[in-house]
Amino acid sequence: MTGHDPAGTGFRSVVDTTCIETRLVRSPGRLSIRVIPMWWLGRAMAHAPRMRLQTKLVGGFCLVAVVTLLVSAIGYWQARNLATALYEIGAVRLPSIQGLDAMREGLSALRAAEWTLVLPELDEVSAAAVVATCEQARAQVDRGRALYEPLPQTPDEAEQWRAFLGAWELWRTDHEAVVALVAASHRQRDPGLLAFARERSRTNSVARAEAATDHLHAIIAINEGIVADAQRRSVASRDDLRAVQRIMLGSACAGVAGAILLGLIVGRRLTQPVTQMRAALADVAAGDLSVHVPARSHDELGQMAAAMNDMVEAMRTSEARLRVLSDNLPDTMVYQVVQEPDGRMRFLHVSAGISRLHGLLAGAVLRDPSLLYGQVLPEDRPAIAAAEAQSRRNLRPFDVVVRIRRDDGAVRWMHICSQPRPLPDGRVIWDGFETDITESRRVHEVLRANEALLRQFVRHTPAAVAMFDRDMRYMHASDRWLTDYKLTGQDIIGRSHYDVFPEIPERWKDVHRRVLAGAVERCDEDPFPRADGTTDWLRWVVQPWRDADGAVGGVIMFTQVITERKRAEQKITDQLAELRRWQQVTLDREDRIAQLKREINDLCARTGQPPRYAAVAPVAATGTNP
């Protein structure tokens, strides 16, 4: 395939797809590059036993890359010209013109605002608005300057820019002075300052504004000329690029053909060991760890084969280590069981612990799972079937506790736990363990019996007793407690003592905190104001209870409601006080009667009559005056 030179670049391209030859011809000389036939190079690299795989692949594809690179170089220069023109327009000149236009608009707005500002009929409010407009115009000029100034500039453009900056700074200084004079004139109500500002704007500011505007227009004209030239160059580069595209298309076709030929030759020699490793990996996945892949070369494929053999050997070692570990777990058997499509359960693996737990041989259970399932007590088999069905349906862990009867007649408790996982063929496999929990079950039964005994003891204690944890939640309470505190029929176990009795005073909470710290507190008489307005009187003892480690586990309260006794004592006290009062009244009455009798006897003595009350001494004898 021969390319032509429609763009007048002086290059011609000749591509021979038979031997993958590329010639670049430039008049009047001739440059020819002949590439070695790829089929021969591919066979040479494929049969190089010590050449790295990366070298083989990279070397072959580098040939295709060289051919493509040589042909692509022709189009690079034309594309570069086009890219340069597009960059000049899009990345430099368009932003430059945008910035210059913004500056031009800002200058125009600033000049108009300054002319308006010096008008004599402008009031203070309007002047403030015009000053704000001036500030916006200056900000627009600054934004345009910030956009334009960092961009590349031609020498003429740079010279005009420096001249513009000088004129702009002079104008800006005059403008700020005019704005200051106008502001002072409005503030001081001085028409003379406004006239002076108008004169300065006319003589200085206008001339310098025109100079800055002229330089800015010159810079804009320079940029517009550069843009027009770049547009002309981009059109010419586009025509050349079309011709180069046709040349590159032919070279690409030749490169693809060569790459395919190279891939067929090299791939045929490289895929053989890959196929062997794939088959070996399939055997390993199926559980066969006896595979071995021969390493026929020293490249990466040979290294991969050696690494795979090392991996299989490590897996064999790891499997043996795991088997020893699972076989020696105390009171535990590790197993793997699968459910076949017909519903049968088949063990794939059982550890040696099965002989200690069930008295069975692992090989016998692998051949006949019914030997193991048959030891489950008949009343527990429905639970196993239901748990298996639910685990298979939801793919959730299988976790049951069942009883078995071994061949020697011993009944043991077993905890069976496993995790299901689906297989690609639709079967479900469980990986799990079985643990003999007979002893822990017996301990649990003893603890449960002791707890029930403790509950019954506390409940039927003929006293108000309650037991709490460290959070003051009820653990146990006697019937007397429920009766004394009017809690009969309520379930208070697990509830907070402070929720049951929200009226508990803070001083009792302090007592509870001290007891939880190890103290023992008691009180013979203590008032307990209730939420209904009544007051109960209590006698109580609060002490901690401790766990097996000796740590405080909570609080035990022994209380006695002595309200009735306090009421009886108060009644007796009141009655004694009443008796004392009546006694005193009686004594006072008797004294008064005796006094009257003495007075009568004294009167009788004065009248010469005998005493009427002989048992009463006269008044004189008692020393009492009537």
Q: Is 156 domain-assigned?
A: yes
Domain match, 511 and 598 both: no
Beta bridge partners of 118: none
What CATH number did the domain enclosing 101 receive?
A: 1.20.120
Convert the pLDDT of each residue in 249-293 to its tens digit.
Answer: 776 677 677 667 766 766 666 677 777 778 878 877 776 777 787
Domain match, 468 and 577 both: no
Least confident of 237-241, 363-367, 451-455, 540-544: 237-241
Q: What is the mean pLDDT of residues 486-506?
A: 90
**Longest Cα–Cα distance in the chain:** 191
Domain end among 180, 213, 242: 242
Domain match, 522 and 595 both: no
Distance CA 615, CA 626 (A): 18
Identify the DSSP state of 334: E
Distance CA 463, CA 41 (A): 104
Domain match, 338 and 426 both: yes
Domain match, 421 and 483 both: no
375 is written with which tokens? 């030891």
Distance CA 44, CA 266 (A): 9
* Structural domain of 606: 573-620
Domain match, 227 and 359 both: no
Q: Is 165 domain-assigned?
A: yes
Domain match, 500 and 375 both: no
Domain match, 229 and 108 both: yes
Best CA proximity match to 338, nearest among 405, 404, 424: 424
Q: Is 57 domain-assigned?
A: no
Q: Is 112 domain-assigned?
A: yes
Convert the pLDDT of each residue in 540-570 to its tens digit.
Answer: 999 999 987 889 999 999 888 887 777 777 7
Indicate the residue type of 494. G
Convert the pLDDT of each residue in 287-312 to its tens digit.
Answer: 677 778 787 777 677 777 788 788 88
Q: Is 541 domain-assigned?
A: yes
Number of domains in the chain: 4
Confidence of residue 338 (pLDDT cuts 50, 70, 90): very high
Beta bridge partners of 333: 434
Convert the pLDDT of each residue in 114-155 to its tens digit.
Answer: 777 777 777 777 878 877 888 888 888 888 888 777 888 888
Confidence of residue 3 (pLDDT cuts 50, 70, 90): very low
Q: Is 297 domain-assigned?
A: no
**Which residues contact residue 72 at a Cβ distance below 8 angstroms, ignoring those fewer than 6 apart?**
248, 251
Convert the pLDDT of each residue in 436-455 to its tens digit.
Answer: 888 887 877 777 766 776 66
List phi, psi (to 5°) of 505.
-70, 160
What CATH number did the domain enclosing 470 receive?
A: 3.30.450.20
Domain match, 429 and 472 both: no
pLDDT of residue 522 exceeding 80, the answer is: yes
Helices (H) and strands (E) in the chain, counts: 18, 13
Q: Is 33 domain-assigned?
A: no
